[in-house]
Amino acid sequence: MRILLADDHAMVRDTLSDYLKAELRADVATVSDYPGAMKILSSQGQFDLVLLDFSMPGMNGLQGLEDAVRRFPGQAFALLTGSAPNRIAQDALKLGAIGFVPKALGANSLANAVRFMVSGDTYLPASILSDAGEPGETSFTKQFSQREKEVLRGLCNGNSNKEIARNLDLQEVTIKLHVRSICKKLNAKNRTQAAMIAKGADFE
């Protein structure tokens, strides 16, 4: 797993880098500004994930993200932020980002967020989703809470309750309760049938 972390705060950069190396065994390259990030992408090729600090020198907020996506269309980008308002998250996704990661996120949640994004999933904190609604909301997804949707995605991916619990940083008993609620809402006999119904509804 190759990750490029661009942040102008040395303590944040070093702390996140060390944690991702230890927890995910990731190969982490670091840089302190936007021009440096673009230079590394030009010289070292594609990374599994690029984390761009929203307010670092040269970034110019969403302008930098838009430029990065245009220059490297096949690269996965996510915004890393300490103070950007929630509405920026939705704008970032529209511009092509696959995630919006608050610096205040807990260590386990950060690791899970990176795992989600590296696997191709889009990550937004639950607090933002509850305020703004999830992009691509359908009549099927509206019947579920955000946490139920996360659990249902795990079911569709064939993950066990234990795996889902680990990915979401929750207790396994909590996952079982969510699965029971999902099955009830879908009138499904078991988790397998629930996943089949969800896939039939083009749930992702």
Query: 3-state class of 190 per DSSP?
Result: coil
Consecutive 10-residue averages of pLDDT for the chain (204 residues): 93 89 93 96 94 92 93 93 76 90 80 87 71 59 85 91 89 91 91 89 75
Strand partners, 101: 80
Measured between alpha carbons, how far is 201 from 204 in angstroms, rounded to an integer?
9
Q: Where in the chain is the domain with CATH 3.40.50.2300?
A: 2-132
CA angle 8, 9, 10 (to 5 degrees): 105
Let me know: does 146 contact 126? Beta carbons within 8 Å. Answer: yes
Tell me, what's the pLDDT at 167? 87
Please identify which residue in the block is written with the tokens 């705060």.
9
CATH C-level class of 141-200: mainly alpha
Q: Please say whether the structural domain 2-132 has been given the CATH code 3.40.50.1980.
A: no
Residue 106's pLDDT is 75
Q: Where do you find CATH 1.10.10.10 in the chain? A: 141-200
